[in-house]
Structure 1
Amino acid sequence: MPASPAGGHQPAADRQTPAADPCRPDGRGEWLRFAPVQPLFRARAAQRLAVLAYHGVTDPRSFGAQLDRLRRLATPVSLDAVQQAVTERRPLPPRSVLVTFDDADRSVLTHALPALNDRGIPAAAFVISELIGTERPFWWHEADFLARHGGRARSLDCGHPSQLLRRLKAMPDPDRRRSLHELRVSADRRPPRQEQLTPADLLALREGGVAIGNHTQGHPCLGRCDDVTVRAEITGAHEALTRWLGEPPAAFAYPDGGHDPRAEAVLQELGYRLGFLSDHRLGPRLPHHPLQISRLQVDSTTSTRRFDTILSGLEPAYRRWRGHAVA
Structure 2
Amino acid sequence: MPQSHSTTSTSSPTARTRATVTALSDLWPPPTTGTPPGAATVTTDGQPIVTSPADLPPVLPPGGRALRSTATRTCSPPDARGEWLRFAPVQPLFRARAAQRLAVLAYHGVTDPRSFGAQLDRLRRLATPVSLASVQQAVTERRPLPARSVLVTFDDADRSVLTHALPALIERGIPAAAFVISELIGTEKPFWWHEADFLARHGGRARSLDCGHPSQLLRRLKAMPDPDRRRSLHELRVSADRRPPGQEQLTPADLLALRAGGVAIGNHTQGHPCLGRCDDATVRAEITGAHEALTRWLGDPPIAFAYPDGGHDVRAETVLQELGYRLGFLSDHRLGPRLPSHPLQISRLQVDSTTSTRRFDTILSGLEPAYRRWRGHAA
Instruction: Confirm or deny a common fold (TM above 0.5).
Output: yes
> Hey, what's the Cα distance between the residues in 1 that align with 2:256 and 2:203?
40
What's the CA shift string for 1:76-115, capped at 9, x where partnerless?
0000000000000000000000000000011000000000
> Hey, what's the Cα distance between the residues in 1 that align with 2:131 and 2:203?
45
Question: How many residues were matched structurally?
Answer: 321
Offset at residue 16 of structure 1 (A):
11
Offset at residue 155 of structure 1 (A):
1.3
Cα distance change on mapping 1:245 and 1:3 into 2, 3 Å: farther
1:262 is aligned to 2:315: yes
> Hey, what's the Cα distance between the residues in 2 that align with 1:3 and 1:232?
44
Offset at residue 159 of structure 1 (A):
3.9
1:244 is aligned to 297
Offset at residue 15 of structure 1 (A):
17
Contact 2:59 2:81 in 1 (8 A): no
Higher RCO (CA-CA < 8 Å; seq separation 6+): 1
Contact 1:74 1:95 in 2 (8 A): yes
Match of 1:56 among 80, 95, 109: 109
> Hey, what's the Cα distance between the residues in 1 that align with 2:75 and 2:97?
31
> Hey, what's the Cα distance between the residues in 1 that align with 2:170 and 2:228?
43
Counterparts of residues 147-296 of structure 1 (less than 5 Å): 147-296=200-349
List alignment gaps of at least 5 residues for structure 1.
none
**TM-score if structure 1 supplies the norm length?**
0.92
> Hey, what's the Cα distance between the residues in 2 that align with 1:248 and 1:54?
23
Contact 1:22 1:165 in 2 (8 A): no
1:121 is aligned to 2:181: no
> Hey, what's the Cα distance between the residues in 2 that align with 1:229 and 1:223?
10
List alignment gaps of at least 5 residues for structure 2.
1-57
What's the CA shift string for 1:210-237, capped at 9, x where partnerless?
0000000000000000000000000000
Cα distance change on mapping 1:48 and 1:253 into 2, 3 Å: same
What's the CA shift string for 1:246-272, capped at 9, x where partnerless?
000000000021110000000000000
Contact 1:3 1:25 in 2 (8 A): no
Cα distance change on mapping 1:234 and 1:205 into 2, 3 Å: same
Cα distance change on mapping 1:16 and 1:82 into 2, 3 Å: farther
Contact 1:155 1:179 in 2 (8 A): yes
What's the CA shift string for 1:27-86, capped at 9, x where partnerless?
943210110000000000000000000001000000000000000000000000000000
Contact 1:275 1:292 in 2 (8 A): yes
What's the CA shift string for 1:180-231, capped at 9, x where partnerless?
0000000010001000000000000000000000000000000000000000
> Hey, what's the Cα distance between the residues in 1 that align with 2:63 and 2:232?
17
Cα distance change on mapping 1:314 and 1:56 into 2, 3 Å: same
> Hey, what's the Cα distance between the residues in 2 that align with 1:15 and 1:174?
32
Offset at residue 4 of structure 1 (A):
21
> Hey, what's the Cα distance between the residues in 1 that align with 2:210 and 2:59?
22
Cα distance change on mapping 1:297 and 1:160 into 2, 3 Å: same
